[in-house]
Amino acid sequence: MAINILSWNVNGLNSPVKRTKCLDYLRCKNVHLALIQESHLKAADVHRFQNRYFKVICSSSAANKTKGVLIVSKRNFDFSIIRSGGDTEGRITYAVGSVYNTKYAFVSVYAPTEGDPLFFQELLRLVVSLEDCLVVLGGDFNTVLDPQLDRSHASKADSIISGCFNSFLRHTNICDVWRLQNDGVKDYTFFSARHKSYSRIDYLLMSPSLIPFISKVNILPLLLSDHSPVFTSLTAVSLGSRHNRWRFNTSLLQDCTFVDELRSSLKEFLQINKDSVSNPQVLWETTKCFIRGKCISFSSFNKKHRESRKIEFENQISLLEKELKGKFRESKAKEIKVLKSELKSIYLHRAEFIIHRTRHSYYFHGEHSSKLLNYI
């Protein structure tokens, strides 16, 4: 199997719905480790960006609700932390640990928007100190490596800070893995509505020894933030899986179509089977199995339909964004906006369900000692 890593500037996580949507996005993309920038979370609130599937393993926050970086790990991802740390400005955080007996260092960074050479000096010192690790560094660097390739419109303002960025890569010997797989290709991670221009300012950088194990590196569509996530997959051994006990999805009771279908099917089922057995207990157990089957069937169909629509919208957005990056047209921008609105409604529906399920779990478990305590 693979270790899936995603670097993403989320542009704020103070909204509970936004946090839920982002965490669900990570789950849908089967991300094992996420390098997050611009969380805008204070240190006391960082724990809010976790759920039953993901946990925060390290973070750095600013004094106010700006900046903020963190690293999120899937709970069943076998990463044994040796040490972690970061700065006090909400710009750098890192975690050193073992993955399948190999020492890794995962780093999430958010560079100053105004361009600061001192930031790259501090980052250089950190990466040099991690020389005994395989480094995976993701972040929003607020500058580009190659102004000709990484901006839709080249800017002279890039020259100094872009030089610092290139110098940092030369001294650390880490690689821009997306560019390695897309030599000469123009693609971008950020759209400036003010300047009507695109740029690739979000990067995944890795130690050269990891390059043979990279199966893919993709810039994903702009969806829940104004930055595109950068996704990569590293070859690894199986992570294993876990089976969960089935529970009735109470939100189905709010779906009129489901209620009508179940009522009709259940009436027909009882008419056929009520006289077929003498023991009412057998009929009751059989009825429960029938109801469970109908619930699973209906939920599975709806989920597949939503996922297919989600993939369809993402593909359409990705295609239109490529056209827009080549030549900006207002009509295309409006079309993308409509598609994003449709896609966001799907994520919102999913987020509402997750919040409902979380409330149900807290009510159901109450103060009982259970696995729920592990998620808090």
Catalytic center residues? 110, 140, 227
Total domains present in the chain: 2
Q: Which domain holds residue 9?
A: 2-235
Low-confidence ranges of the chain (pLDDT < 50): 237-243
Same domain, 275 and 219: no
Same domain, 222 and 255: no
Same domain, 105 and 74: yes
Same domain, 309 and 370: yes
Same domain, 10 and 50: yes
Q: What is residue 113's predicted lDDT score, i.e. its pLDDT?
A: 86
Pairing status of strand 54-60 against strand 33-37: unpaired
Contact by Cβ (8 Å): 273, 290: no
Which of 181, 211, 235 terminates a domain? The answer is 235
Same domain, 280 and 352: yes
Same domain, 122 and 265: no
pLDDT in tens, 51-106: 999 999 999 999 999 999 999 999 999 899 999 999 999 999 999 999 988 899 99
Same domain, 137 and 218: yes
pTM: 0.72
Angle CA 182–225–180, to nearest 5: 10
Same domain, 223 and 300: no
Give domain status of residue 243, yes or no. Answer: no
Number of H helices, E strands in the chain: 8, 14
Which of 235, 264, 297 terminates a domain? The answer is 235
CB atoms near residue 22 (< 10 Å) = 27
Q: Is 38 annotated as a binding residue?
A: yes
Which of 202, 235, 268 terminates a domain? The answer is 235
Backbone angles phi, psi at 244, to 5 degrees: -105, 150
Same domain, 227 and 257: no
Q: Is 78 annotated as a binding residue?
A: no
